[in-house]
Chain A
Amino acid sequence: MALPLEGIRILDPSQVWAGPTCTKILGDLGADVIKVESARRMDIARGDARAAPGGMGFYPENDPGPDPWNREGKYADRNRSKRSICLDLTHPRGVDAFKRIAAHCDVVVENYRQGVMDRFGLGYNDLKKVRPDIIMLTMASQGATGPEAAYGSFGVTLEQTAGVASVTGYLGGDPSTSGVLFPDPLVSVVSVGFILAALRQRRQTGEGVYIDLSQREMTTSILGDMVMDYTMNDRAWEPIGNRHRTFAPQGIYQCRGSDVWIAISVETDRDWAAFAQTMGRPELIDDPRYATVIGRREHHDELDSLITAWTSVRDAFITMSTLQAAGVPAGVVEKGEDLVSDPQLVARGFWEYTGHTPAETRPYLSRPFKFSKTPGFTRFPAPLLGADTAAVLRDIAGMSDAEIAELDGLGVTEDDPLTFAP
């Protein structure tokens, strides 16, 4: 059975997280994704050309090696199943080459700061001239228009300006950002759908489209009930820690070991009865303080202590299984190591193994969906910087060997970042 997106070609100058993660999913499902960087301006997720051990990058065994830009873990995961070319887009010949490739692509995905592609001469109107039905998705942090369009952002600032941080934080405490920069993955997965919707529209009408996605707006779009409560009741939400807005008790409780925790969430009176029974405290089921959700909310602090006394001497995984067997929602707060061996993720083949050599082979994150008939998998490891430049220029842009050599001589296709590293 063929991969579902075979035959679709994506030209991908996107960087860092949201853009690359979107195109990696498309690549896993069969699209031919051509990632565009330059040795002068690599995807910053590759890290520094001369990375020091112990820096911010995730290098195998903490060793950046002679070519750290090809070894960084976040980069590797987000860019597998793609080809890599180097084009200096500040050089007119680089821009020309980009256009000649774009003429044979269905989609361009980019997440530069607003205006950068236009300055290169590679905006939608420029690309439309070489490929009239091209689809272009731009995912600037605040969209391509408006007074803040040129503002910079990181995932961590988007969490602040989109409203997510205003409801994240310990009970009674200040708003807080998350530990993962949630807007990036959110934007990446939904963009897969938007691109395929545009391709469907093109199949129906023959027309391409320019899609102007705002990462900030997308992030606010997951706060429907918060916005509607303000709309209806002028009420602003505050952080409630790990508690639930309605039911109780819900929290994160310490288990045996260091920094080991379990999440427990009692939704109904029936859940409460099952939970009290499992804790060996059947007398609490009908205790007037706890029998109803109103009582449980009122006595939440007291319940938290009581639950912690029970969980803190117990193994987290066994406690989860025991509670789930009794029908009580519970889940271990998994660490990286737990995730890699998580029985559910392992049983469903979530981890996909790849690497340039057997020694480099590691588990990679797959995707949140599976298809019953069509495959989808990490097809090959992230490309070495510029590994496919010559092949793409020859096979897709139709350049002669002489022309490719000329670009090389001009430095347009330079692929050794050490040439420019300070």
Chain B
Amino acid sequence: MPNLASPLAGVKVLDFSGGTSGGISTKLMAVMGADVVKVEAPGAGDVTRAQGPFPGDAPHPEKSGQFLYLNTNKRGVTLSLEHPTGRAAARRLVVWADIVVENFRTGQFSEWGFGYDEIERINPGAILVSIAPFGQTGPYRDFRGNDHIIQALGGLLYVTGDPKREPLRIGGEPSEYFAGLSAFAGALIALTYRDLSGIGQHVDVSAHEGIAVAQMYSALAYIFTGAERGRQAASPLYRVSDGQVGVSLRQQDWPGFCQMIGRPELEQDDRFKDMAARRANQEALTALINEWIHDKKKQDLYHEAQKMGMTWGYICDTKDLMESPQYQHRGYFTEIDHPVAGRLTYPGMPLRWGDGVWELRPAPLLGQHNAEVYGDILGWSQEDLVLMRATGVI
């Protein structure tokens, strides 16, 4: 029996959140050993169940890749907060929980009777974590924001892309993930304080502020120098026979690089002798590199340069990641069996915890743990469950 890593064992999380930001925040807690009960609306469930990707592009609520990834290790129940009986059940679950997480439209959770004041009244030690595009207060609190809008208003977009073209967003949903990881950190800060004081509180997470923190360079350039940093030509990526390689040549890299390309005489060439000269002769340098590099292979170059102490990269797509000897060595990708979606490879945990092993369990089917959770925590009988299902509460 391996030593299972479970630093958050014993922490009880009631998770009303959905989508990416909420999903990743409680996923980390769940894999780290917390008991996370994910509450989904009866019928459709979490929004990511409808979003995919799906095997063969055939939509199926139990086969959404994003849902499966974001909800490993959680227990799942259905509960309608639109229904008064559902809200009454939710209040009893709040009494059970150490941490309650939500990312509804701002104000929605309060309208259902779960404002922080009310949560504090029924469970004074509870920590309520609210994740919203712009946080719970301020003039933009009711603005609609998704990843694209948040990257713009948070200052990330303006500095990415070609200086001669329009700003460019970072691919994927970085602001959603950043908000979720911030919520994870915020919850742990509040839990630390609660363990010492017994006092719970409301943690207000803003995706907008997350991106404002992440962009850093852009704001600090203006604050300290009065000038905008703007979009700078991206770090040079060179086309090779099977992809692209990120070439970086610091001052100390030049002699080794000249050896690497079989042109030792260039070491003494005045056009390239230092960083300033290389910048001044960038075009000649680029031509030189292109001529040498174009028929090489990305991974050969990456490993060769790194072994010489040069910090190069190469563009990895998912196939490259899966085949990466480094990822394979660390066992980053993990296979998980799911009763409906089958056995699939998932991104795993990005860290090792002592000599412990993370245990990854499949995401819950919609309502999979209704009997167990409602039976154990609320004392519902089988008859109660039938009644609740028939009336649309669960």
Residues of A within 8 A of B (CB): 2, 4-5, 7-8, 17, 25, 29, 58-62, 73-74, 76-77, 142-149, 151-154, 156-170, 174-182, 185-186, 189-190, 192-194, 196-201, 203-204, 209-214, 216-218, 220-233, 235-237, 239-242, 244, 246, 250, 252, 254, 259, 261-263, 265, 267, 324, 327-340, 342-345, 347-348, 350, 362-363, 365-374
Interface hub of B66, B165, B207, B321 (most chain A Cβ within 10 A): B321
Say whether B311 contacts A152, CB under 8 Å.
yes
Say whether B216 contacts A180, CB under 8 Å.
yes
Q: Which of chain B's residues 133-149 have a Cβ closer than 8 Å to chain A?
A: 134-135, 137-141, 143-146, 148-149
Say whether B181 contacts A190, CB under 8 Å.
yes
- C-beta contact mask, B207-223 vs A, less than 8 Å → 1, else 0? 11110111111111111
Q: Which of B36-44, B166-174, B281-289, B369-377 contacts A (4 or more CB under 8 A)?
A: B166-174
Q: Specify which chain A residues have a CB less than 8 angstroms from the CB of B8 in the assembled complex.
A: 197, 200-201
- C-beta contact mask, B155-181 vs A, less than 8 Å → 1, else 0? 111111110011111111110011101
CA distance A343 to B231 in the complex (A): 24
Say whether A263 contacts B246, CB under 8 Å.
no
Say whether A212 contacts B351, CB under 8 Å.
yes
Q: Specify which chain B residues have a CB less than 8 angstroms from the CB of A73 in the assembled complex.
A: 220-221, 223-225
Interface hub of B24, B191, B207, B220 (most chain A Cβ within 10 A): B220
Say whether A343 contacts B214, CB under 8 Å.
no
Say whether B65 contacts A231, CB under 8 Å.
yes
Say whether A368 contacts B313, CB under 8 Å.
no
CA distance A396 to B44 in the complex (A): 57
CA distance A227 to B68 in the complex (A): 12
Q: How large is the interface on B (under 10, 10 to 19, 20 to 34, 35 or more residues)?
A: 35 or more
Say whether B168 contacts A169, CB under 8 Å.
yes
Say whether A177 contacts B350, CB under 8 Å.
no
CA distance A201 to B140 in the complex (A): 38
Q: Specify which chain B residues have a CB less than 8 angstroms from the CB of A161 in the assembled complex.
A: 302, 313-314, 316, 324
Say whether A232 contacts B65, CB under 8 Å.
yes
Question: Cβ of B393 < 8 Å from any Cβ of A?
Answer: no
Q: Specify which chain A residues have a CB less than 8 angstroms from the CB of B140 in the assembled complex.
A: 324, 343-344
Q: Check A170/B69 contact, CB under 8 A, given A185-B213, A334-B155.
A: no
- Minimum Cβ distance to chain A for residue B131 (Å): 9
CA distance A247 to B320 in the complex (A): 28
CA distance A160 to B55 in the complex (A): 27
Q: Specify which chain A residues have a CB less than 8 angstroms from the CB of B218 in the assembled complex.
A: 179-180, 335-336, 339
- In the complex, the chain B residue whose C-beta lies closest to that of A365 is B213
Q: Which of B83-91, B195-203, B263-271 contacts A (4 or more CB under 8 A)?
A: B195-203
Question: Cβ of B241 < 8 Å from any Cβ of A?
Answer: no
Q: Specify which chain A residues have a CB less than 8 angstroms from the CB of B155 in the assembled complex.
A: 334-336, 338-339
The 5 closest A-B pairs by CB, nearest first: A228-B65, A336-B222, A167-B171, A157-B313, A73-B224
Say whether B315 contacts A166, CB under 8 Å.
yes
- Minimum Cβ distance to chain B for residue A314 (Å): 16
Q: Check A74/B217 contact, CB under 8 A, given A193-B181, A217-B351, A372-B204.
A: yes
Q: Specify which chain A residues have a CB less than 8 angstroms from the CB of B324 in the assembled complex.
A: 148, 161
- In the complex, the chain B residue whose C-beta lies closest to that of A215 is B350
- B178: which of A189, A225, A265 is its contact (CB, 8 Å)? A189
- A369: which of B146, B183, B230 is its contact (CB, 8 Å)? B183
- In the complex, the chain B residue whose C-beta lies closest to that of A212 is B352
Say whether B158 contacts A174, CB under 8 Å.
no
Say whether A331 contacts B53, CB under 8 Å.
no
Q: Check A263/B148 contact, CB under 8 A, given A200-B192, A345-B212.
A: yes
Q: Specify which chain B residues have a CB less than 8 angstroms from the CB of A4 in the assembled complex.
A: 189-190, 192-193
CA distance A239 to B156 in the complex (A): 17
Q: Specify which chain A residues have a CB less than 8 angstroms from the CB of B162 in the assembled complex.
A: 170
Q: Which of chain B's residues 307-362 have a Cβ closer than 8 Å to chain A?
A: 309-322, 324-327, 329-330, 332-333, 344-354
Say whether B318 contacts A146, CB under 8 Å.
no
Q: Specify which chain B residues have a CB less than 8 angstroms from the CB of A76 in the assembled complex.
A: 224
Question: Cβ of B104 < 8 Å from any Cβ of A?
Answer: no
Q: Specify which chain A residues have a CB less than 8 angstroms from the CB of B310 in the assembled complex.
A: 152
Say whether B7 contacts A209, CB under 8 Å.
yes
10 A-B pairs in the complex with CB atoms less than 8 angstroms apart: A168-B168, A170-B168, A186-B214, A192-B189, A193-B187, A196-B185, A214-B350, A218-B350, A225-B53, A350-B209
Say whether B306 contacts A148, CB under 8 Å.
yes
Question: Cβ of B206 < 8 Å from any Cβ of A?
Answer: yes
- A267: which of B146, B202, B206, B225 is its contact (CB, 8 Å)? B146
Question: Cβ of B229 < 8 Å from any Cβ of A?
Answer: yes
Q: Specify which chain A residues have a CB less than 8 angstroms from the CB of B232 in the assembled complex.
A: 179
With A225-B53, A230-B318, A368-B179 already in contact, 15 other A-B pairs whose C-beta atoms are closer than 8 Å: A58-B220, A74-B220, A145-B330, A147-B329, A153-B311, A160-B314, A178-B156, A200-B195, A212-B352, A220-B350, A224-B65, A232-B65, A331-B149, A365-B216, A374-B190
Q: Specify which chain A residues have a CB less than 8 angstroms from the CB of B57 in the assembled complex.
A: 233
CA distance A8 to B63 in the complex (A): 43
- In the complex, the chain A residue whose C-beta lies closest to that of B191 is A200
- B161: which of A158, A170, A226 is its contact (CB, 8 Å)? A170
Question: Cβ of B188 < 8 Å from any Cβ of A?
Answer: yes
Q: Check A371/B202 contact, CB under 8 A, given A77-B216, A223-B172, A332-B152.
A: yes
Say whether B168 contacts A180, CB under 8 Å.
no
Q: Specify which chain B residues have a CB less than 8 angstroms from the CB of A58 in the assembled complex.
A: 220-221, 223-225
Q: Specify which chain B residues have a CB less than 8 angstroms from the CB of A240 in the assembled complex.
A: 171
CA distance A59 to B223 in the complex (A): 10
Q: Specify which chain A residues have a CB less than 8 angstroms from the CB of B353 in the assembled complex.
A: 209, 211
Say whether A204 contacts B9, CB under 8 Å.
yes
- C-beta contact mask, B54-76 vs A, less than 8 Å → 1, else 0? 11110000010110111000000
- In the complex, the chain A residue whose C-beta lies closest to that of B178 is A186
Q: Specify which chain A residues have a CB less than 8 angstroms from the CB of B193 in the assembled complex.
A: 4-5, 374
Say whether A157 contacts B312, CB under 8 Å.
yes
- B344: which of A232, A246, A328 is its contact (CB, 8 Å)? A232
CA distance A32 to B217 in the complex (A): 26
Q: Check A222/B173 contact, CB under 8 A, given A152-B309, A157-B313.
A: yes
Q: Check A372/B214 contact, CB under 8 A, given A168-B160, A228-B344, A331-B145.
A: no
Say whether A157 contacts B311, CB under 8 Å.
yes
Q: Which of chain B's residues 11-69 have a Cβ closer than 8 Å to chain A?
A: 11, 20, 24, 28, 32, 51-57, 63, 65-66, 68-69
Q: Specify which chain A residues have a CB less than 8 angstroms from the CB of B103 in the assembled complex.
A: none
- B330: which of A62, A217, A233, A263 is its contact (CB, 8 Å)? A217
Say whether B28 contacts A193, CB under 8 Å.
yes
Say whether A178 contacts B309, CB under 8 Å.
no
Say whether B205 contacts A369, CB under 8 Å.
yes
- B205: which of A151, A231, A340, A368 is its contact (CB, 8 Å)? A368
Say whether A229 contacts B53, CB under 8 Å.
yes
- B166: which of A146, A153, A254 is its contact (CB, 8 Å)? A254
- In the complex, the chain B residue whose C-beta lies closest to that of A235 is B53
Q: Specify which chain A residues have a CB less than 8 angstroms from the CB of B179 in the assembled complex.
A: 368
- Minimum Cβ distance to chain B for residue A261 (Å): 6
Say whether A365 contacts B188, CB under 8 Å.
no
CA distance A160 to B237 in the complex (A): 10
Q: Specify which chain B residues have a CB less than 8 angstroms from the CB of A147 in the assembled complex.
A: 325-326, 329
Say whether B225 contacts A61, CB under 8 Å.
yes
